[in-house]
Structure formats: structure tokens, C-alpha cells
Amino acid sequence: MASGTALIYDEEMTSHKLLWKDPICDIEVPERLSSSYEQLKRYHLVERCVPVPAREGSEEEILLVHSSEHLEVAKSTQTMNEEEMKRVSGNYDAFFFHPSTYHCARLAVGAALQLVDSVIAGKVCNGMALVRPPGHHSQRNAANGFCLFNNVAIAAEYAKRKYGLQRILIVDWDVHHGQGTQYIFEEDPSVLYFSWHRYEHQEFWPSLKKSDYDAVGLGRGKGSNINLPWNKVGMGNSDYLAAFFHVLLPMAFEFDPELVLVSSGYDSGIGDPEGQMNATPEVFAHLTHFLMQLANGKLCVILEGGYHLKSLSESVCMTVKTLLGDPIPQITGEMAPCLSAIESIHNVRAAHKPYWKWLMYEDTSFLQYLSTKSHLLEKANTNPSTEHESKINNTDETIKVERFLELHMKNILFPVPPIKTAASVESKTSAHLLPVHVVKEKDMNEVKALVSAFYADLVKEDETLLSLGSMLAVLDKILTKQVCNGIAESPAASVSVAVALRHSVRFGFQRVLCIFVGDMEIIPNTEDGRILMIHVCEKLQSVEKTNSKHYISLNWKEGAEGNDFFSAVFGFILPVAYSYQANLTVIAVGPNRSLGINGISLLFGLLRGLAESRILAVIENTEINLMQSVATALAGNSRPDFGVCAPPTQEKVHTLKILREQLQQEWKMLRCSVKNGISGN
Ligand code: X5A
Ligand code: ZN
């Protein structure tokens, strides 16, 4: 399995610049590239990446997507005088030519292709290309919105032709709609295109009807174009994460891409004069982390927009840091999508219901939308608690955000623990768990003293005591941040977990998320509120237990057809976990588990996004394949195999729906539907 992260940067691409006055185009400056690269250097990220040179994309490669007329016009601008260039630029909506533009645009195309080549050939696992001019507005026969050639679309077409790929996912998190990319692939079912974008009911540029959620693709491509329009400015971290949980990620897992390309615009980040959104740089670490779970980790991130230099460069750094496998900063602030975001999410789910198996049994329908739209918009405007304030676009605002980010990044960035994964396991097991770091068990007297203070009655057997010594040794290393995550085996997982939870809370952790997998007796805890339990089990739990808001039981038995647990992870577990904002995650795998290894790997892989990736795994049945998969998922430097994703049955969709309705008042990231989100409570 490939490892490493490619970084493509070529100073040449800073030579393309605006030579005359144009208040629309003057934000697309060369410093966008150079300041991002400088910030990467400051964080010492450049030296950790594999440098890959850019090259000029060939004419043949450009013609994969564009017309020869378009290519010829672009080529002809190289020798034009300023007057002529200005005239040609005027033929397009928001574009400027410079004598070096053609050369730069070919480098931008070539950089994207070099990245695809490096990832597909296995030279690296993933990577980022910093390019200018951007690409996603560019169409077969036209430059548009600062874009000349559609770098990402050409990269997708190239990957199809050169490597025979049959399923490519393009995620466009730029704040503008990549209408160019939509046009190029709208009839092509082999390319799944997802874009969220500032829309404001068609008020915002490029103001197209075809940017709305009901543009789902054409002909054979129906269902492979996903538009999520934002109808208000001020969308933030929760709105973006909700969009991933409730729309993009389940579709992406069902689609099962062989390669993921990101049209990575950071104008969707805070401070951007175009987007006027509120998402902070670390949200891009989370988005990147999620996409790394697809296509065996084959992820190519290609720069598009982003016009607040500080916001842009910090967000670029968060992306690259995550591609490198570093732990992920916690998202702070209240986690709840706003009503307008929920409405958009609801609508795109309704529009796509006919084309996606995982949506088949969801009771979100197009008709429901038609009958409630105007009423909902009123509600969205008048709910002060969940509505964001819009940003005023001026220099003061830019400077304010700069100062905010200066402090904010200091607050959220933390030293990366020197060791990724620790284990305290029998030598015969640990031999198979490389590259985990094996720690020595805690001194027995220390353990005895600790345990006698609480749970003394539970720990009668010497064997249990011994395993607690091992588990606590790993846990202590996590709590003191010497290691990021760890694995402990235990002959009695529920006892070990009870001790681990109590120990962590006493150590000072305020919110510990605990996920139990398996039918086992859970030892009740007295640390109410500081521990949230989600119990994934086959047997129905008794009512007394299940009505505490900090104990949730999720009845789930993995389907025979494949891994259907993804729908529960995105539709329930992650939304609850992100709402809770745990600062430590404990995952216990006990006896009689109802999930297979694939489902468990998925859980571990995705929960690394929480709690600065701090996870303690407690495993009762130490079968070697399970241990190996958990270690792989925790180490995060190669992708575990999640198996084939199968859609959930009607019964399971129903289970999730009931839970969502019960709990969305408390755990707000569960909200994904208008009926549930508003009139449902
Ligand atoms: C790549 C990108 C924006 C064009 C805005 C024109 N283009 N008003 O962000
Ligand atoms: Zn943009």
C-alpha cells in the first residue's frame, strides 16, 4: 500500500496576473499561491511531502475536455498586446488574460495530471497541487470565473482514459458552483460530481437555475450530479459537516470510487469576500479526513478559489497536514446546522432519492418539499438561535478575520504526539501489529491501589488485574499525550472500559465518548454527562437503561450482503459524536459482536476525526485479523478495507429514523430533514 503525500508547487504559476483595473477579477492574485506555500513552509509541512514537479499539460490532454477553438483562442493570447488581451478577456464572464496565462494554465493542467499519475502509480498515497489559474468554471468552449482550462475535469477524463478507471468522485468544496465541471460530466455516470455553493435562491453568481438541487444529471448520468445550494451566507463548520454526513458521504460510499479528486476552493472558509461563510480552517482537516477513507486513500486535492490570504493559507495547511496523517484538531463551538442548511440538505436528499439505494427508504420526498418551502423559509429567517449573521465585506472585516485566525490557530493546533499508536499486547499478537509501539504494563501495586479505590468488587481475578495493568499503561500514554491512540486486549472488556472511563474522567477529561460493540453487560457509570455511551448490539436493551440521554443503544446486526453499517455511522454515530465533541474516544469490542471486521474498521477510521484522534481500543476477542484491522485503522497510514457497502434494509432505516427523532433535540447534528428539524420538535 502506497504511503506519502505529494505536493506540487511551481512559482511559474504566479506570473499570471491582472494588468488592468477590474474590480471583479482583482482578487485572483499571485499571492494566493505564494502565501499558501510560505505558510506550508512555516508549519514544516513542505519538507514532509514528496515534491512532484509540475509539467505543461499537452494539447491532446487539454482536448480531452475542451474544444480546439477554445485551445486556439487561449494559445493566441500569448503574443497579444494589452489592448487585444483586454478585448478577448471581455468575451468571457470574469476572466483576464496575461501573456503568461496560457503557459500557466497548461502548468495547472499538467500539475493536476502529475498528481493523478503519482497517486495511481502508487508513488504516493495522496497529494495536493497548488495551481493558478483555477479550473472548475471553465467549460468546453469558454473561460469563466477566473478559470481557463478545467484542471480537475481534465484530470478525471485523463484517469479514465489512461488508467481505465470506471468510478471517479469529484468533491467541489469551493464556495462557487463548478458549473463547468457539471456541464462536462452531467451525462457521464462514471464521474460523480458533488458541489455545495453559495446560491441564495439564484441571486449569487453564476446565478444559474442549473445550480439548484434538482439538477441531478442527465440521461445515463442521472443521479451522478449532486448540487447542494446554500441559500444563506454565514454557513459554518456544522453546516459543512452535516452536508457530509447526510448527503455526500453515504453517496460516496455507495458509489465506491476508485479515485477521489477535490476541487479545493477555500473561498468557502471564514473571511472570504466572495463566500461570506464562517467555516474555520480546521473544518477542512475533517473534510479531508473523511475523503481519505474512500478509494483506498487515493485522494488528489487541487486548488480552486480562496481569496482571503490568511484564511486560504491556513486552510491549505490544515488540508496538507491531514493528508500527511497528523491527528485532526477538534472543532469548537456549538455543533448544530442552521435551518437554512437543513432545508437544503433535505431538498437534495429528496431530489436524489430515486437514484440512490441508501435513500430508498428514507421518508424524504420531493412533494413534501413543494408543500412546505415558503413556510420554512420564513422560519429560517426568524429563528435567532440557529441563524447565522452575515459578514460585512470590507477591509476591516478582512483584518478582523486575520487577527481572529492568528489567535485561533494557536488555540487549536497542538503538538503531534511523538508516537501514533501504542499497544500493550502479548508478544505473539504484537508481532503482527507493526508499526505499533509496545508499552510496558503499569506496576501492579500501582494498579491495585488504583482499582481498590473504585470497582474493587469487579476486579477479583488476577487475570483481570493483569490486563488492567496493560490497559492503564496505554491509557496513561494517551492521557498525557505521549501517544495518539492505543490498543489494549482484555479478557473482560466491560470491566476494563469501566475502569478506563473512570480513570480518564478523574484525570480531567470532560467528555468521553464510549462506543461498545457487542452483546455485553455494561457496567453503569456515575460520571453522568462526562461519559456518553453508544452501545451497538444485537440484543434489545432494557428500557431503564435506554432512557438516559447519555446511554444510547443502537440495535444493529451487520447485513449478509455487505457492510451496511456505513449508513448508521454517517446517519447516526458521527452526528451524535460530533454534537457531543468528546475529547477522548474509547471503543470497546466485546463478545458476540454483531459487526464484522469491515464495520469495525470503518468505525475506527472515521472516529479518528474526533477528540484530536485520541482513541483507546479495548478488545476482548483478540482474533488476529481484527487486531490487525484495528491497528491499521488507528495508525492511519494505510487504509483499512471496509468491504463492499450494501444499502440498509427498510427495518434498519426505520431504526435510525426513530433514534434520530428521539435524540435530535439533544444531539443537533442528527438533523437532516425539514420535517424532523422543525415541526418534529
Ligand atoms: C475559482 C473561483 C470565482 C469567480 C467569481 C466571479 N472563481 N464573480 O473561485
Ligand atoms: Zn470559488
Q: How far is the CA of 611 from the centre of ligand 1 (A)?
A: 35
Q: What is the pLDDT of residues 529-547, one digit of tens each?
A: 899 999 999 877 665 555 5
For residues 205-234, average pLDDT: 98
Q: Closest by alpha carbon to 47, among 327, 410, 321, 421?
A: 321
Q: How confident is the model at residue 679 (pLDDT cuts 50, 70, 90)?
A: very low
Shortest-distance Cα residue to atom 5 of ligand 1: 145
In this prediction, what percent of the chain has a pLDDT beyond 90? 73
* Residue 176 CB burial class (10 angstroms; 0-12, 13-18, ≥19): buried
Residue 361 domain flag: no
Distance of CA 367 to the CA centre of its chain: 31
Cβ(25) to ligand 1 under 6 A?
no
Whether the per-residue pLDDT at 202 is higher than 60: the answer is yes
Q: How confident is the model at residue 366 (pLDDT cuts 50, 70, 90)?
A: low
In this prediction, what percent of the chain has a pLDDT beyond 70? 91
Residue 370 domain flag: no
Q: Which ligand is nearest to the CA of 205?
A: 1
Residue 653 domain flag: no
For residues 312-337, average pLDDT: 96
pLDDT score for 677 = 39
pLDDT score for 593 = 86
Kindly list the catalytic residues: 137
Q: Which range among 230-234, 418-422, 674-678 has the greatest average pLDDT? A: 230-234
pLDDT score for 368 = 44
Nearest-atom number in ligand 1 for the CA of 274 is 5
Q: What sections of 435-539 are H helices per DSSP? A: 444-453, 462-479, 493-507
Tell me the best of 148, 149, 176, 311 to mutate to test the pocket of ligand 1, counting ligand atoms within 8 Å of each CB and taking the most.
176
Cβ(146) to ligand 1 under 6 A?
yes
pLDDT score for 540 = 73
Q: How far is the CA of 353 from the centre of ligand 2 (A)?
A: 28
Bridge-based pairing of strands 437-438 and 126-130 is: unpaired
Asked if 344 and 309 touch (Cβ cutoff 8 Å), the reply is: no
In this prediction the pTM is: 0.94
Tell me the best of 18, 197, 274 to mutate to test the pocket of ligand 1, counting ligand atoms within 8 Å of each CB and taking the most.
274
Asked if 66 and 73 touch (Cβ cutoff 8 Å), the reply is: no
pLDDT score for 167 = 98
pLDDT score for 538 = 87
Residues 307 and 389 in one domain: yes
Q: What is the pLDDT of residues 142-193, one digit of tens each?
A: 999 999 999 999 999 999 999 999 999 999 999 999 999 999 999 999 999 9
pLDDT score for 365 = 61
Shortest-distance Cα residue to atom 1 of ligand 1: 305
Whether the per-residue pLDDT at 344 is higher than 90: the answer is yes
Q: What is the pLDDT of residues 246-290, one digit of tens each?
A: 999 999 999 999 999 999 999 999 999 999 999 999 999 999 999
Shortest-distance Cα residue to atom 7 of ligand 1: 145
pLDDT score for 392 = 46
Cβ(134) to ligand 1 under 6 A?
yes
Q: What is the pLDDT of residues 566-594, one digit of tens each?
A: 999 999 999 999 999 999 999 999 888 88
More confident site: 424 or 61: 61
Cβ(174) to ligand 1 under 6 A?
yes
Q: How far is the CA of 199 from the centre of ligand 2 (A)?
A: 12
Cβ(265) to ligand 1 under 6 A?
yes
pLDDT score for 568 = 96
Q: Closest by alpha carbon to 521, among 551, 549, 563?
A: 551
Q: How far is the CA of 145 from the centre of ligand 1 (A)?
A: 4
Q: How far is the CA of 217 from the centre of ligand 2 (A)?
A: 21
Residues 270 and 192 in one domain: yes
Tell me the best of 93, 138, 146 to mutate to test the pocket of ligand 1, counting ligand atoms within 8 Å of each CB and taking the most.
146
Q: What is the CATH number of the domain that holds 560?
A: 3.40.800.20
Q: Closest by alpha carbon to 373, among 338, 344, 353?
A: 344
pLDDT score for 390 = 44
Q: How far is the CA of 176 from the centre of ligand 2 (A)?
A: 4
Residues 407 and 529 in one domain: no
For residue 481, give Cα distances in angstroms to 155, 236, 419, 582. Answer: 40, 29, 9, 16
Q: What is the pLDDT of residues 406-460, one digit of tens each?
A: 999 999 998 999 888 998 866 556 656 666 788 888 888 888 888 887 777 777 7
pLDDT score for 640 = 67
Residue 366 domain flag: no
Cβ(95) to ligand 1 under 6 A?
no
Name the domain count of the chain: 2
SS3 193: strand
Shortest-distance Cα residue to atom 6 of ligand 1: 145
Cβ(267) to ligand 1 under 6 A?
yes
Residues 263 and 330 in one domain: yes
Average pLDDT over the chain reads 90
Domain extent at residue 623: 419-648
Q: Which ligand is nearest to the CA of 269?
A: 2
In whole angstroms, give the CA distance from residue 287 to residue 210.
25
pLDDT score for 428 = 58
Shortest-distance Cα residue to atom 9 of ligand 1: 305
Residue ending a domain, among 392, 412, 432, is: 412
Residues 386 and 493 in one domain: no
Residues 540 and 621 in one domain: yes
Tell me the best of 28, 152, 303 to mutate to test the pocket of ligand 1, counting ligand atoms within 8 Å of each CB and taking the most.
28
Residue 515 domain flag: yes
Q: What is the pLDDT of residues 593-605, one digit of tens each?
A: 889 898 999 999 9
Shortest-distance Cα residue to atom 2 of ligand 1: 305
Residues 390 and 483 in one domain: no
DSSP string, 358-419: GGTT----HHHHHHHHHHHHHHHHH-TTTPPPPPP-SHHHHHHHHHHHHHHHHHH--PPPSE
For residues 227-244, average pLDDT: 98
Residue 680 domain flag: no
Cβ(4) to ligand 1 under 6 A?
no
Nearest-atom number in ligand 1 for the CA of 307 is 9
pLDDT score for 426 = 64
Residues 408 and 438 in one domain: no
Rg (CA), the chain: 25
pLDDT score for 393 = 52
Nearest-atom number in ligand 1 for the CA of 134 is 1
Residues 315 and 435 in one domain: no
For residues 459-487, average pLDDT: 89
Cβ(32) to ligand 1 under 6 A?
no
Q: Which range among 236-245, 369-378, 549-558 has the greatest average pLDDT? A: 236-245
pLDDT score for 369 = 42
Residue 441 domain flag: yes
Angle at 670 between CA 521 and CA 288, to 5 degrees: 100
Residues 201 and 70 in one domain: yes
Bridge-based pairing of strands 419-424 and 483-489 is: parallel
Nearest-atom number in ligand 1 for the CA of 267 is 9
Q: How far is the CA of 345 from the centre of ligand 2 (A)?
A: 21
Residue 108 domain flag: yes
Q: Which range among 356-370, 382-396, 425-439, 503-517 has the greatest average pLDDT? A: 503-517
Residues 325 and 437 in one domain: no
In whole angstroms, give the CA distance from residue 38 to residue 281.
16
Residues 473 and 595 in one domain: yes
Cβ(413) to ligand 1 under 6 A?
no
